[in-house]
Amino acid sequence: MNRTGRTLSAAVPLAALLSLSLGLTACGGAAPAPVSPPPASAHTAVEQAAVLHWLAKTNAMWTQNNFAALDDITTAEMRTIYLVEQRGASLPSNASRQPFQLTGLSITIPCQAGRPGVFVAYGDTDVFDLGPAMQPMAMVFERVDGRWKLAAAINRPARGWPALCTKGSPPSAPPAVAAADFAPELARVLTHATAGTAETAAAAAPFAVNDFFAGSGSVNAQAARQAGQNRRGGVSFTEGFATTANPTLALPLAGGRGFWMIGILTQTGHYASAAGLRAKNWPDGNQVATPRPAVVHHETDTFITTYTAIDPPRSAGATLTLDGFFGWPLATVAS
């Protein structure tokens, strides 16, 4: 389990991303998540066609290294990820790639004022694992320049997909945290969590202290373990989160329960070794970036991450509950 962009087994160099998977899934101690997505909306032929078009063009990138349609099918966070993949893409010289798959496609169009500008496609796919395994994902599409484009993707939360409002007007009651404030607040709280200390309600506010911030699989516990391993190996490691230019999406929940917030952050980690490191891995087990000098003194890794949360209607003492995650590496540099 990992609730940050970093995988503890390897920091994969970008040039290898199209032949290795990251396996960045969020999990927790709750019961297994419901398999089925929320109820599908009616009359979604156009949206289904848009998803299949996205899949076909993504397969052209994967199997033919043809990124001509990148700007036609992606926007926001996903455009950033696809651009990174384009820069590092290379086809295997001795093998052909199998196209990605998508099964169980279900479309939900959230309540919106006026013409719909966003929909969520649920399904099992191997696109975001680069082939090795099918995973249940939510793919958020936005209408940009008259086209439906993939904006974000989320691994299925441990407690299952939240039910979205699909009929009538979106709720008028404001959320506990406004969409414009969601990413800055989350970046602050997650950065504090990477200090590795036990979380408190005051430090986590306006977020609830759930299993993202408490327990063996929490951000705090992972950070403490990683810092300890590096410190014992004579290496310092610091990390933090920052906002991006991507606006937070606020999708209304069924029954007036607030909004499902989808926020995009960057995560940056920095290793430092005064003595220098000759080994292949840092003391925490992460692989040293390549290309690299023989003796590495510094490494900086940058990821783009998506976090989702249930944001209830505004009231005294209301807290947000983090429930989903997705992450991808953007850059890793050793010196």
* pLDDT tens string 308-323: 999 999 988 899 999 9
Give the residue extent of every domain in the chain. Answer: 14-334
In contact, 287 and 313? CB cutoff 8 Å: no
The average pLDDT across 138-151 equals 96
- The pair phi, psi for residue 27, each rounded to 5°, is -145, 180
- The 10s digit of each residue's pLDDT in 147-188 is 999 999 999 998 899 999 998 888 888 999 999 999 999 999
Rounded to whole angstroms, how far apart are CA atoms 180 and 5? 22
Ramachandran assignment for 17, one of left (phi > 0), alpha (psi -120 to 50 degrees), beta (any other): alpha
Phi, psi at 215, each rounded to 5°: 105, 170
Q: What is the mean pLDDT of residues 56-76?
A: 95
pLDDT tens-digit readout, 257-268 = 999 999 999 999
**pLDDT computed for residue 5 by the predictor:** 53
User: How far is 149 from 180, CA to CA, in rounded Å?
Assistant: 22
Q: What are the tokens at 101? A: 């798959």
Average pLDDT value for residue range 300-305:
96
- Per-residue confidence band for 305, with pLDDT thresholds at 50, 70 and 90: very high
Mean pLDDT of the chain: 88
- Position with higher pLDDT, 116 vs 125: 125
* Largest Cα–Cα separation, the chain: 63
Distance of CA 148 to the CA centre of its chain: 20
pLDDT given for residue 327 in this prediction: 94
pLDDT value at residue 172: 84
Give residue 35's pLDDT. 56
Q: Select from 117, 76, 125, 124 the least CA-distant residue to 263.
A: 76
Give pLDDT, residue 106: 95
**Residue 130 pLDDT greater than 90, yes or no:** no
Query: Which of 25-29, 36-40, 197-201 is predicted with the least confidence, judged by mean pLDDT?
Result: 25-29
**pLDDT over threshold 70, residue 18:** no
Is pTM beyond 0.85? Reply is yes
pLDDT on residue 148: 97
Using alpha carbons, select from 121, 143, 155 the residue that is nearest to residue 40.
121
Strands (E), the chain: 102-108, 118-125, 135-144, 147-155, 236-243, 249-252, 259-277, 296-311, 321-334
pLDDT in tens, 238-250: 999 999 999 999 9
